[in-house]
Each structure stands twice: as C-alpha cells, then as structure tokens.
Structure 1
Amino acid sequence: MAELGLNDHHQNEIINYMRFARSKRGLRLKTVDSCFQDIKESRLVDETFTVDEVTEVLNELQAVVHSEVESELINTSCTNVLLLRQLFSQAEKWYLKLQTDISELENRELLEQVAEFEKAEFTTSNKKSNSENMKPSRLVPLNEGGTSELLNKEIIRLQEENEKLRSRVKTIELQATNALDEKSKLERALRDLQIVQGDQKAIIRSKDISDLENTVAALKNEFQKTLNDSTENQKTLEENLVSTKRDLLKVQEQLSVAEKELEKKFQQTAAYRSLKEILTKKNEQIKDLRKRLAKYETED
C-alpha cells in the first residue's frame, strides 16, 4: 500500500478493519442520537422550564451519553486487543516475537495520514463498490502443510540439536567441575609442601644467622683487641716523641753554648785581632777618601 507502506494483502486487511470500525462507530452515533431524541420526546414537552428542571434534564442526558460513550470505548479497546491477539498468535506459530511502539499511536502526522487514507478509501465510489463486493476473510492458519510443515520439522530438528548441545554442555560442566576439584586438591598439596619447605628454610636460615652472629662477635672482639693494642702503641709513641723533643732541646741548647764559646775563642785568636786591625785601617782610609772627594766636589 503506497499510503501506509504496506503490501496489497495487508492493505485489504486494514480496509476490512476500517469498515468494521466505521460500522460500529455509526451504530454508536445513532445510539447517541437516539438518546437525545428520547430526551426531546419524553422530557421536552412543556413550553417553559425552570433552572432545576433544565439541570435535571442535562444531568440525565449526560449520564446516558456517558454510559454509551464509555461502552463504545471499552468495546473498541477490547476489539483492538482481540485483533492484536490474532496477529500475535499467528506470529507465534512462526516462532516470531512482535514488538509495538505505543508512542507512535499518538503521532499526529501518522494519525492524519490514516484519516486521509480512510477518507480516500470510503468516499470514492469505486472503492465503495469494491468494498461492498469483498467478502470478509479470516486469518489463514499457518499449521497446514507446505512451508509451515517444513518450518515445524526444522524447528523440531533444532530443538533436538539443542537438547544434544545441552547434554553435552552438562557433561563438559561436570568435567570442568571435576577438573576444578582436582586443581583445588593440587593447590592445597602445593601449599602444604611450600609450608614444609618454608619451615626447613627457616631452620637453615636460623642456623646461618647464628653462625654469622658468632663470626661477627669474634671479629668484634678481635677488632677491640687490635684497637686496644693500637692505643697502647700510640701512647708509647707519644711518650717517645716527648722524650725525643726534650733530648732535641738539650742538644740545641748545648749547640748554642758551643757556638758562643767557639765565637769567643775565635775572637781571642791572633788572626782575629789582625783581621780586625786591617778592617779598622780600611775603614779609616775610606773615610779619608770620602772627605777628599767631598772637598774636590766643593771646589768644582
């Protein structure tokens, strides 16, 4: 169908449903009209009415119309449910799951499109004649031979295969459970073995630590002994150094005295005296020469 995007078969089904809905709607409208007509004939017989009488008439009319409209709405809702039930039942025979979008039922654009389609279908004379000649048809059952039979066989085959797969999965799950149990046992045995090995390592480590502590203690004692010996040697060296310094001072003092005595003895020798006289004469000659030189410089 070009207008609603469906094929010809579904177009005819929708037209049949619209025809049914139009007939039901026409009957209900006639019922509402008859309600008003009954009120006119039964209550509007006087020429004048009070406010209370008018209110009573309107309330009575409201109750009747409300009941008719409510009945029509309930009937329409139930009719739609039956129609959906037919469609879903037909789909389930093909193992299909249909879905509906309730929000599209209030799509104003689509509603107007359906209204235009209904108007075009039921206002054209050709459409009316075709609609009158068409016979109502039921949904074709899908459980009779042909494609349905092949589909059912395929479904049965798939179900059997599914059962085989389920059985195989259960077997694999059982094997996996046994493997997990065996793994847990091996892990516990491994932990126990590691604990035993850890205890042995702890014993060996404790023994090694004890030996190491003894070795460290021996080295410490030896170092302390060596340190004490070094201290004593240092004290001895310091004492020797002090004694040596004293001897050195004595020697220096003796050397100084010896030098003084040697100088004194040298001054008392004849060579020293003659050398001293020569130096004295030379000094006097130098003084005389300086005086002469100064005199000559003055004359110039």
Structure 2
Amino acid sequence: MRFARFKRGRCLKTVDSCFQDLKDSRLVEETFTVDEVTDMLDGLQTVVHSEVESELINTTYTNVLLLRQLFSQAEKWYLRLQTDVSDLENRELLEQVAEFEKSEFTSSNKKPSADLIKPKLAPLNEGGSELLNKTVACLQEENEKLKARLRTIETQATAALDEKVKLEKSLKELQVIQGDQKGFIKSCITDANQDITELENKVATLKCQFEKTLNDATENQKFLEDNLVTTKHDLLKVQDQLSTAQKELEKKFQQTAAYRNMKEILSKKNEQIKDLRKKLAKYEPED
C-alpha cells in the first residue's frame, strides 16, 4: 500500500506539473481565440494521456512482478493458490481497502476497526510452510512407531533368551536323573543350543535391520514402510521357527528311553504306595 500510494502521488504530481507548465508557458495573454484554446487543450491532453498511460502500464507490470514472486514461492513449496477475479471489482471489498488506507496513512491516531485487522501470512522463506511442518510431524510419528516396534522385538528376544535358560536347566536336570542317556541328552542340548543360537542370530539381525531402518526414516519414508513389512514377516517366521523348535524338542524328549523309563518307574512306585496303604489300613484301628 505504501509503494502504490507513493507511485500514485508521483503520478498526480506529474499531471499537476503538466497543467502548471501549460499555465506558465502558454497562459501569458489575457484573451485567446478558440483555435488557440483548442490547441492548448489538445497539447495538454496529449501530455496527460502519455503520462497516465505510462503510469498505468508501469503499475500493471509492477503487479505482475509482485504476483510472480508470490507464485514462485508457492511453487517452491508445492502450494496450490486459488484466485477469484470477481473480487477485484467487489465494491464492498474496495471500500474496505480504501478505509484501511485512510486509517493507516492519515496523520490522525485513529486505529483501524476490528473488521479491517487481518492475520498476517507467515513468510515462506523462514520455514513457515505448513506442508513442511506436516511432513516433519508425519516422519516423527513414524519414528515413534518404529521405536515402539523395536522395543517390542527386544522384549520378545529377551523372552526367547529366558526360554533358552529354562530349557538348559531342564536338560541339566534330566542329565542328573538319567546318566546312561547322557550322550543322547547332550546331543539334544547341542541341537537345542544350535537352534537357539540360530534364533538369536536372526533376532539380532532383525534388531540391526530395525535400527538401520529407524536411522534412515527421515531420508526415505517409503523405504521404511517396505522394510517394516519385510521385518514383520521375518519376525513371524522366527516366532514360528521358535515354536516349531520347542515342539520338536518336547517331542524328542518324550520319545527318549529315559523319559519312558522314568514314567514306568513312577507308575510302579505309585502302585507300590497304593498296595502299602491298603496293607497298612488293615492294621490301623478305626476312628
């Protein structure tokens, strides 16, 4: 508004100077003929027409350059601008602009009305792009999800290690009870350790993949999503393999001769205890 007001004032001064030049240069006599007046007015018209036309053209080109700057910034941030040409001839809006100019540039201390106070736009070249802020927020949210997923996998890996400790303890107890099956049980332990070691390596690999995915999240969100799906499938496979290994270990243990012998011994001991109780009941007095 200040720039336009300055240009407008300069244009009016130019027009006034044209009239003043006419007065100073031509109006030196008291009387003029019709032809002389017509000639003076035609010359004044030509000068004023040229000045006004030049100023209007300059104003139009200035507005084009201003719009070009705004559109260039909008294109840089992938913004979609919409314009309504009909508003340019809206009398009510034009009157509001005139009132704003009057209240803004007059020498009085009158404050503009509340209706004329409009919120200012955040400058695009200072990081005020809403699109960029939304993108950063989405990436931060995705990072939080990946961190939570990583914590879940770490918990599952810890549970797998605890299960490994329990299996090793159970196998050691079986070694103490059945010494003659030591070689077979050692073989089972070795197989179990190998399976668990393989699972640990897979879990460690998955953990490294998740950490790498987490570090690269801000660079390529699409890559993170694809890697997350792949990692989920791998985790399901690992869980399925762990469950299968546990079932196979239990099945192998139940099929061992040590397990069957122990089961038969316990059955015989239970039968002997029942017989002893029956015999003892014959000699005990009734209550």
What TM-score results when the alignment is normalised by the length of structure 2? 0.40
Larger Rg: 1
What TM-score results when the alignment is normalised by the length of structure 1? 0.39
